[in-house]
């Protein structure tokens, strides 16, 4: 059966049918191709690229132009997956007009299918404005990396009754505002399960337990390409960094020793032609 482009309606149908939704980050053409070929439902071009690709200490320095650049590459590498572009810090918090304008760039310039933005009930007016402009929005609650400093660092959120109630309300407010999906990061599994039951739209967990409607991980974490730290919620399915490093070391050694390139990697010239070259 030929695989078609994933749509919001199909993602909602998966939740309604109790089928799990898959999401993975990708930041460039080759990784997008691999994620798409693996049959993943949705690709998030996350502002996490600031840390795992650009080498920043956090996601805060990431700019709109950097996000658009990477989203374009992912779009070129994707045929089937639903693409979500992550709105970077201060691209949507300044004003509703700026939020709509920047969200529009993800659709018009980068070819994304939707955008994602962080925040709870306070961001509901922004979600509503962007959706009203015809741009689908994926919400993001719990640990929101762009404002991690205000949350006292990268810690589990919603652990007490008061903050848990606020998070449930945030999810409901964001759904009413028009969000088609909500990512829940680093919250207790029972809280994530309750939110998943109480809202109609799909929930995607990252460090939020098994009862979410789907899961997302960072590509570089999953394949072992980011060695600075590994969050508790990450399952590393392979560890490519040592393999790649060993290959690079072998290449350096063979070049230094004069064993690469060998005859099989070189283009030969007939002896008589070489002689003519010398004679000239």
CA dist., res. 100 & res. 103, Å (int): 5
Calpha distance 204→185 (Å, rounded): 8
Structural contact between residues 68 and 105, judged by C-beta atoms closer than 8 angstroms: yes
Q: Which residue, among 94, 7, 83, has the nearest Cα to 46 in the 3D structure?
A: 83
For 139-165, what is each residue's pLDDT tens digit?
A: 999 999 888 655 555 689 999 999 999
Q: What is the mean pLDDT of the chain?
A: 95
Return the exposure string of 217-243: e unless at least 16 CB atoms fall within 10 Å of the residue's CB, then b: bbbbbbbbbbeeeeeebbeeeeeeeee
Looking at the chain, which residues constitute the CATH 3.20.20.60 domain(s)?
A: 8-238
pTM, two decimal places: 0.94
| Over residues 258-266, mean pLDDT | 94
Across-strand partners of 114?
Answer: 84
Q: Cα separation of 172 and 162, whole Å?
A: 16
Of 56, 64, 61, 53, the C-alpha closest to 86 is 64
List the beta strands (DSSP E) in 119-156.
137-142
Predicted pLDDT at 152 = 54
Tell me, what's the pLDDT at 105? Answer: 98
Residues with Cβ within 8 Å of residue 68, at least 6 apart in sequence = 85, 105, 106, 109, 110
What dotted CATH number matches 8-238? 3.20.20.60
Q: Which of 185, 227, 254, 275 is catalytic?
A: 185
Q: How confident is the model at residue 275 (pLDDT cuts 50, 70, 90)?
A: confident
pLDDT of residue 109: 98
- How far are the Cα atoms of 122, 178, 209 from residue 66, in angstroms, in the given order? 26, 27, 31
Residue 97 annotated to the active site: no
Alpha helices (H) in 79-137, listed in sequence order: 96-108, 124-132
pLDDT at 252: 97
């Amino acid at each position: 059966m030929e695989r078609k482009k994933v749509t919001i309606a199909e993602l909602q149908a998966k939740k309604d049918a109790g089928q799990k939704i898959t999401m993975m980050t990708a930041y460039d053409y080759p990784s997008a191709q691999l994620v798409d070929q693996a049959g993943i439902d949705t690709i998030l071009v996350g502002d996490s690229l600031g840390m795992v690709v650009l080498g920043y200490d956090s996601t805060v320095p990431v700019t709109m132009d950097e996000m658009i650049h990477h989203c374009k590459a992912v779009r070129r590498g994707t045929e089937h997956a639903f693409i979500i572009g992550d709105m970077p810090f201060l691209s949507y918090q300044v004003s509703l007009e700026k939020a709509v304008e920047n969200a529009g760039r993800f659709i018009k310039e980068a070819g994304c299918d939707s955008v994602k933005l962080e925040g709870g009930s306070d961001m509901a007016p922004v979600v509503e404005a962007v959706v009203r402009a015809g741009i689908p929005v994926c919400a993001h609650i719990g640990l929101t990396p762009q404002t991690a400093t205000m949350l006292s660092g990268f810690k589990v959120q919603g652990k007490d009754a008061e903050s848990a109630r606020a998070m449930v309300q945030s999810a409901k407010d964001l759904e009413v505002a028009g969000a088609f999906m909500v990512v829940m990061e680093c919250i207790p599994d029972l809280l994530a399960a309750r939110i998943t039951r109480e809202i109609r739209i799909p929930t995607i967990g990252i460090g939020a337990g098994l009862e979410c409607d789907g899961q997302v991980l960072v590509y570089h974490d999953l394949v072992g390409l980011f060695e600075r730290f590994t969050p508790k919620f990450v399952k590393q399915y392979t560890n490519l960094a040592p393999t790649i490093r060993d290959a690079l070391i072998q290449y350096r050694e063979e070049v230094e020793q004069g064993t690469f390139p060998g005859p099989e990697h070189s283009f030969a010239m007939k002896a008589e032609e070489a002689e003519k070259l010398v004679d000239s």
